[in-house]
């Protein structure tokens, strides 16, 4: 058994990570410590991805492994104080049902200590607006892989401005079809095409 889950995660050893999490939870280990070790593993993966040592496939594998491990840990975290560095609301706008990139980003963001609210895919404008009002996120993220999602993004940002909810809210757009031109059209603060660049922006936005 690994006493430190981070190395097991970096090596994508699903059996060891999930088995160790299960055993340590059953033996009464502090679930927050397990989360911290998994987060450290995600940081190592992110560093290797940024350095060109790991590629998208490795990032996807680590995100999947982290998500599976967190499913076992999350029920044990209820009621426990946790260090949350910021809050992100994210969704794929109306007309687009792609979620792979979004889900990878969610996993690495959670791994970095963010509280993430995922609205899913094909999200209408009204749902984004209500969720911003209800959750009061630090960052609003749009994920898209088709161009028809650009107009709903712009409508959401324009409506948030009208409602007085845009001033302290950072907006980021991500996806292979997004560009700097799209960022300007939408009125977002940042545009990215990979999860780690998006995470770096989000961390800077909350002072980390």
Q: What is the pLDDT of residue 202?
A: 97
pLDDT in tens, 115-172: 999 999 999 999 999 999 999 999 999 999 899 999 999 999 999 999 999 999 999 9
What whole-number distance in Å separates Cα of residue 107 and Cα of residue 104?
A: 5
What whole-number distance in Å separates Cα of residue 26 and Cα of residue 14?
A: 18
Over 50: is that where the pLDDT of 63 sits?
Answer: yes
Alpha carbon 182 to its chain's center = 21
pLDDT band at 2 (very low <50, low <70, confident <90, very high): very low
List the domain boundaries for the chain: 5-77, 86-205
**CATH annotation of 5-77:** 1.10.1240.10
What whole-number distance in Å separates Cα of residue 37 and Cα of residue 90?
A: 25
pLDDT band at 56 (very low <50, low <70, confident <90, very high): confident
Q: Do the two domains 5-77 and 86-205 of this chain adopt the same fold?
A: no
Q: What DSSP designation does 149 have?
A: G
Is the separation of the CB atoms in 5 and 21 below 8 Å? yes
Over 70: is that where the pLDDT of 13 sits?
Answer: yes
Percent of the chain with pLDDT over 70: 98
Predicted structure pTM score: 0.80
Over 50: is that where the pLDDT of 195 sits?
Answer: yes
Q: What is the pLDDT of residue 3?
A: 60
**CATH annotation of 86-205:** 3.40.50.280
> Backbone phi, then psi, for 91, in 5-degree steps?
-170, 165
Tokens of 42: 């995600």
Which candidate, 99, 111, 32, 25, places its Cα nearest to that of 66? 111
Tokens of 60: 């996807």
């Amino acid at each position: 058994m690994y006493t430190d889950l981070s190395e097991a995660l970096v090596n994508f050893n699903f059996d060891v990570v999930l088995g160790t999490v299960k055993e340590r939870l059953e033996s009464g280990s502090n679930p927050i410590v397990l989360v911290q070790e998994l987060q450290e593993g995600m940081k190592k993966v992110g560093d290797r991805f940024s350095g060109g040592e790991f590629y998208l496939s490795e990032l996807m594998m680590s995100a999947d492994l982290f998500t599976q491990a967190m499913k076992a840990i999350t029920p044990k975290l209820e009621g426990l104080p946790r260090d949350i560095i910021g809050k992100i609301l994210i969704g794929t706008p109306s007309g687009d049902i792609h979620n792979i990139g979004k889900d990878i980003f969610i996993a690495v963001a959670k791994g970095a200590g963010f509280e993430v609210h995922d609205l899913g895919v094909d999200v209408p404008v009204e749902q984004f607006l209500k969720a911003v009002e209800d959750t009061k996120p630090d960052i609003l993220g749009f994920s898209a892989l088709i161009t028809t999602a650009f107009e709903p993004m712009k409508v959401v940002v324009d409506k948030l401005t009208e409602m007085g909810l845009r001033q302290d809210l950072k907006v980021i757009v991500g996806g292979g079809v997004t560009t700097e031109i799209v960022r300007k059209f939408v009125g977002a603060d940042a545009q990215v095409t990979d999860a780690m660049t998006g995470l770096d922006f989000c961390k800077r936005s909350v002072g980390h």
